[in-house]
């Protein structure tokens, strides 16, 4: 029988666990602070616990934490972390400084099942879901390695994987990170990026703790979207947009719609016109992402003038729009470039390109 894992427990679960050891819930809060605010991954350094309790915890619990296997720094200051999990699987997380806040880009799966044709992670396929502790563990490791445990930072769930495909673990990890006894993250400091899995989006709308929402569109017609994102073939853009319109937003909040620009594929004036029409009066912001090229991705990045023209076409139609600045391309840490486990399993991008030819 495996030992209880401190890294997988929300605070109420941790309080229940320490109660079985005959100690009060305040001990759980102490342990929680050591794990999240001080970055410990073992009980030895928890000096405000009695020696007897620490000795007992050593034999009766464990604390699984991703192991830092490699760290790379880009010329622009972006840092990429290769983390090894307890079963030997690896994933990548990214730190983006000065954005204007410091931002951690966190993974929710090893690989991804969405198979987006312009994304290296999608070409990997899905190896497995991450547990809540492995998702939150990335934040613990990055905060510790970067000495940011006592600083405010943002989190974007935009690394490897589709967060809503791993719904329960993702939301549990966010609750663990949000606990005041831990890092105390607020919803406005967390952004969840999704291709728009409709049943999961509807479920997310009912949560008490809801992060900022970023929906990846990448196309303005069902035909093109189904080719670029094969797993979107079970739903229509019309239905996805209807769910977005019903999504609960607080005053001044907006849904971000992410749109990767592919040269000659989805960057035409007609695409901009249709995109503005899809959004209508929805409180929204469009984040344009010029493709980050990589070996194995059979699409090209549009010219800067083409990107500017597309952005201007949206702005003329009253759409709030920004163009994402690519960070970390030289260490393959930019959007769509994360990949581990020896590279692609299938050429999802090539399949998409063949369908478009």
| pLDDT of 351 higher than 50 | no
For the segment 315-342, the average pLDDT, to the nearest whole number, is 73
For the segment 85-106, the average pLDDT, to the nearest whole number, is 90
- Least confident range of 88-92, 103-107, 122-126: 122-126
For the segment 148-154, the average pLDDT, to the nearest whole number, is 89
Task: Count how many domains the chain has.
Answer: 2
- Least confident range of 37-41, 115-119, 237-241, 260-264: 37-41
First-to-last alpha carbon distance for the chain, in angstroms, is 54
What is the four-CA torsion angle of 133, 326, 153, 187, rounded to 10 degrees?
A: -70
For the segment 35-50, the average pLDDT, to the nearest whole number, is 88
Place of tokens 């319109």: 245
Q: How confident is the model at residue 89 (pLDDT cuts 50, 70, 90)?
A: very high
pLDDT score at 30: 94
What is the per-residue DSSP string for 64-129?
Answer: ---EEEEEEE-TTS-EEEEEE-TTS-EEEEEEE--SSS-EEE--SEEE-SS--TT-HHHHH-EEEE
Q: Give ∠ CA 103-108-112 in degrees, rounded to 5.
A: 120
DSSP state of 67: E
Is there a domain that residue 272 lies in?
yes
Pairwise CA distance, residues 142 & 243, whole Å: 34
Q: Are residues 135 and 36 in the same domain?
A: no
List pLDDT tens digits, range 261-272.
999 999 999 999
Q: Decide if 60 is catalytic.
A: no
Pairwise CA distance, residues 215 & 218, whole Å: 9
Mean pLDDT in the chain?
90
For the segment 297-316, the average pLDDT, to the nearest whole number, is 95
- Least confident range of 120-134, 243-257, 338-352: 338-352
Is there a domain that residue 1 lies in?
no
Q: Which of 112, 116, 119, 335 is catalytic?
A: 335
List the domain range (segments joined by +) for residue 163: 67-356
pLDDT score at 333: 54
Q: Are residues 27 and 126 in the same domain?
A: no
Pairwise CA distance, residues 218 & 267, whole Å: 10
Q: Are residues 172 and 134 in the same domain?
A: yes
Q: Are residues 42 and 74 in the same domain?
A: no
Judge whether 6 and 14 are in contact, CB under 8 Å.
yes
Domain termination residue (choose one: 18, 34, 60)? 60
pLDDT score at 342: 52
Question: Hey, how many other C-beta atoms are within 10 angstroms of the C-beta on 44?
Answer: 11
For the segment 29-34, the average pLDDT, to the nearest whole number, is 94
Q: Are residues 35 and 113 in the same domain?
A: no
Is there a domain that residue 49 lies in?
yes
Q: Which of 15, 92, 162, 258 is catalytic?
A: 92
DSSP state of 168: H
Question: Hey, how many other C-beta atoms are within 10 angstroms of the C-beta on 231?
Answer: 17
For the segment 140-145, the average pLDDT, to the nearest whole number, is 95
Is there a domain that residue 189 lies in?
yes
Q: Are residues 124 and 42 in the same domain?
A: no
pLDDT score at 163: 98
Q: How confident is the model at residue 340 (pLDDT cuts 50, 70, 90)?
A: low
Burial class of residue 305, CB neighbours in 10 A (0-12, 13-18, 19+): exposed
Q: Are residues 161 and 190 in the same domain?
A: yes
Q: Are residues 197 and 126 in the same domain?
A: yes
pLDDT score at 352: 45
For the segment 104-113, the average pLDDT, to the nearest whole number, is 96
Pairwise CA distance, residues 197 & 21, whole Å: 42
**Token pair belonging to 91:** 């994933």
List pLDDT tens digits, range 218-235.
999 999 999 999 999 999
Rg (CA), the chain: 21
Place of tokens 């991705």: 297
Q: What is the CATH number of the domain that holds 133?
A: 3.20.20.70
Pairwise CA distance, residues 104 & 95, whole Å: 5
Q: What is the CATH number of the domain that holds 21?
A: 1.10.150.530
Does residue 109 or residue 348 have the better pLDDT? 109
Beta strands 109-111 and 154-157, pairing class: unpaired
Pairwise CA distance, residues 275 & 268, whole Å: 11
Q: Decide if 105 is catalytic.
A: no
Q: Are residues 45 and 166 in the same domain?
A: no
DSSP state of 38: S
Q: Are residues 27 and 72 in the same domain?
A: no
Total residue count of the chain as it appears in this document = 357
Is there a domain that residue 180 lies in?
yes
CA dihedral sign of residues 210, 121, 77, 298: negative
| pLDDT of 293 higher than 80 | yes
What is the per-residue DSSP string for 214-266?
Answer: EEE---SSHHHHHHHSGGGGGS-HHHHHHHHHHS---TT--EEEEEEE-TTTS
What are the residues facing 306 on neighbouring strands? none
pLDDT score at 321: 96
Distance of CA 164 to the CA centre of its chain: 10
Q: Are residues 312 and 171 in the same domain?
A: yes
Distances (CA, A) of 157 to 2, 245, 317: 29, 22, 30
Q: How confident is the model at residue 347 (pLDDT cuts 50, 70, 90)?
A: very low
Q: Are residues 105 and 241 in the same domain?
A: yes
For the segment 23-36, the average pLDDT, to the nearest whole number, is 93
| pLDDT of 354 higher than 80 | no
- Within 13 A of 17's CA, how many CA atoms are on the CB side? 22
Runs of H (alpha helix) within 61-146: 120-124, 132-145
């Amino acid at each position: 029988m495996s030992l209880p894992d401190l890294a997988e427990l929300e605070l109420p679960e941790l309080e229940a666990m320490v109660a079985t050891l005959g100690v009060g819930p305040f001990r759980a809060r102490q342990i929680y602070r050591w794990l999240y605010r001080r970055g410990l991954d073992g009980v030895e350094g928890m000096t405000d616990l009695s020696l007897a309790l620490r000795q007992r915890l050593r034999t009766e619990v464990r604390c699984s934490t991703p192991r830092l296997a490699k760290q790379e720094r880009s010329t622009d200051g972006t840092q990429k972390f290769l983390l090894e999990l307890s079963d030997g699987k690896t994933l990548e997380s990214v730190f983006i400084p000065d954005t204007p806040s410091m931002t951690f880009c966190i993974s929710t799966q090893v690989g991804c099942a969405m198979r987006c044709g312009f994304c290296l992670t999608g070409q990997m396929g899905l190896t497995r879901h991450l547990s809540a502790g492995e998702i939150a563990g990335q934040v613990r490791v990055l905060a510790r390695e970067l000495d940011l445990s006592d600083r405010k930072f943002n989190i974007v769930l935009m690394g490897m994987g589709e967060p809503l495909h791993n719904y329960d673990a993702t939301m549990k990890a966010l609750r663990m990170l949000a606990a005041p006894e831990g890092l105390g993250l607020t919803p406005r400091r967390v952004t969840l990026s999704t291709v728009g899995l409709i049943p999961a989006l509807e479920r997310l709308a009912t949560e008490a703790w809801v992060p900022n929402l970023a929906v990846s569109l990448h196309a303005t017609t069902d035909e093109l979207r189904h080719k670029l994102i094969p797993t979107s073939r079970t739903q229509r853009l019309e239905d996805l947009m209807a769910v977005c319109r019903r999504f609960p937003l607080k005053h001044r909040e907006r849904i971000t719609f992410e749109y990767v620009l592919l040269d000659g594929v989805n960057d035409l004036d007609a695409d901009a016109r249709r995109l503005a029409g899809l959004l209508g009066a929805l409180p929204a912001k469009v984040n344009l992402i010029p493709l980050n090229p990589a070996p194995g991705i059979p699409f090209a990045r549009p010219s800067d003038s083409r990107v500017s023209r597309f952005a201007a076409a949206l702005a003329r139609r009253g759409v709030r729009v920004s163009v994402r600045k690519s960070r970390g391309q030289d260490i393959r840490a930019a959007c769509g470039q994360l990949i581990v486990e020896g590279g692609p399993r299938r050429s999802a991008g090539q399949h998409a390109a063949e369908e478009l030819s």
